[in-house]
Amino acid sequence: MESHLRAIQNEGKIDLTYLTLVSKNALFFMSQDRHLELRNKVLKHIGPAKMKKWEQIIDQIINEQINSITETTSVDLIKQFTYPLYRKATQRLLGVNSSNPENFEYWVTRLQELLEPLLPIRTLKQMEVAFKDLIIQLKAGNSLKEEINENPPSLLSELLNWNNPKFNQDDIFSAVLVLYGASINVSQTLANIIYHLLSAPNSIRESASDPKWVKNNLEYLIKIGASPKYVHRIATKDQKFGEYFIAEKDNVLLDLPAIHSNGCPYQNSEKWEENILQKKFHLAFGQGIHYCVGAGYSRFIIRKAIPVLFNKFKNIDLQSKTPDLGNLNQAVSLNSLFVTFKNI
Ligand code: HEM
């Protein structure tokens, strides 16, 4: 990606300094030693083995968020639960503070676009301005931060103290920005899962308040709710898969909803009983060397948040069975998730 952007920059005589900086430090596009070193460092602080350390903070944020919801006529669970939960917990985990939070959040939600190959030049120019702004805000937010004794320290603090000559300060801020942008999947996936559970047969839906049931069925829930639409790869050799022939250097797009659900994931609600105990294998977090570094954290927060929601509100119902689908090219996501409260 980095060399691709440099080529566009030189050919098109446009300045893509920040876009190149962000791509250079986006684990998705990195390779070899630099990739592995950053990956391992990130996993060392926020990997699955570290979640116990974060449990108290995550529990507290989930509880604060759930307690802020009052039973009015209808509530948008994305606006009032999944999104603020993702934002607060992930900002604390990664150490993200911004000097202009509203503008920051807007552009961060558009980071997913960068993953799309072959973007038009005008979008690249827009992204350059946005990334420049985001990095400046992130740095300013970090310097404004009060000197408190963070326990556990955020990922940003750990990375800034890293002393690895391959990563300067700009590289570190860029890497953290990408991680934060990638984390929006937590809000989208959690919202999708809640939608599926609210559409499920009663027996399944009632189980959602049981932490043990959620833990045991987490992989299935993630499989049907995962928000990423595609995994992109460039084929490194000629290969045949069944009836498909893929030539070296072909741009290969793995369509995750097609692989997981044979189509639109929002239409699979009747298949729960037969599927719940099987087909747990999925590609929701990718596979291999680029396997999601946020998978442990995502599993942890999703597994914790679902029973808290379904315990507190045993009486919620979807306001409409028709999902309010978003139109993001890269994510299966909902714009809103309105629920109403039954009198029980
Ligand atoms: C439910 C939530 C999430 C889902 C479904 C998800 C999904 C994915 C998928 C499918 C990939 C593989 C992409 C590829 O191979 O091209 C991936 C990689 C990645 N994810 Fe996630 N993700 C989630 C949460 C997160 C979070 C919370 C973070 C950050 C803390 C994150 C950061 C990343 C990064 C940096 C990579 C690239 C890793 C590498 O290339 O070494 N993700 N994710």
Q: What is the mean pLDDT of the chain?
A: 89
Q: What is the pLDDT of residues 120-132, one digit of tens each?
A: 888 888 888 888 9
Residue 148 has a pLDDT of: 63
Read off the pLDDT band of 344 (50, 70, 90).
Answer: low
Q: Which atom of ligand 1 is nearest to the CA of 115?
A: 16
Q: Quote the ligand 1 centre to 112 CA distance (angstroms).
A: 11
Q: Ligand 1 atom 7: the closest Cα is on which residue?
A: 285
Residue 309 has a pLDDT of: 97
d(CA 44, CA 152): 13
Helix (H) or strand (E) holding 193: helix 184-199
- 235-255: average pLDDT: 91
Q: Ligand 1 atom 41: the closest Cα is on which residue?
A: 290
Q: Ligand 1 atom 8: the closest Cα is on which residue?
A: 285
How many Å separate Cα 232 from the centre of its chain?
16
Please tell me which of 40-54, 61-75, 249-263 the model is most confident about, judged by mean pLDDT. 40-54
Q: Which atom of ligand 1 is nearest to the CA of 42?
A: 30
Read off the pLDDT band of 151 (50, 70, 90).
Answer: confident
Superfamily name with CATH number, domain 2-341: Cytochrome P450 (1.10.630.10)
The reported pTM is: 0.93
d(CA 74, CA 174): 39
d(CA 137, CA 152): 23
340 strand-pairing partners: 74, 317
266: nearest Cα among 198, 205, 203, 341:
198
Residue 114 has a pLDDT of: 62
Q: Ligand 1 atom 19: the closest Cα is on which residue?
A: 292
Per-state percent for the chain, helix, strand, coil, to nearest 5: 60, 10, 30
Q: Which atom of ligand 1 is nearest to the CA of 30?
A: 40
Q: Ligand 1 atom 21: the closest Cα is on which residue?
A: 292
Question: Domain limits of the chain?
Answer: 2-341
| Residue 25 · residue 164 · CB < 8 Å | no
**Could you give the 3-state DSSP secondary structure of residue 142?**
helix
Q: What is the DSSP letter of 331?
A: B
**Cis amide leading into 307 (omega within 30):** no
Q: Ligand 1 atom 37: the closest Cα is on which residue?
A: 28
- 78-96: average pLDDT: 96
Residues within 6 Å of ligand 1 by CB: 27-28, 39, 179, 182-183, 185-186, 189, 226-228, 231, 284-286, 290, 292-294, 297-298
Please tell me which of 107-116, 140-149, 237-246 the model is most confident about, judged by mean pLDDT. 237-246
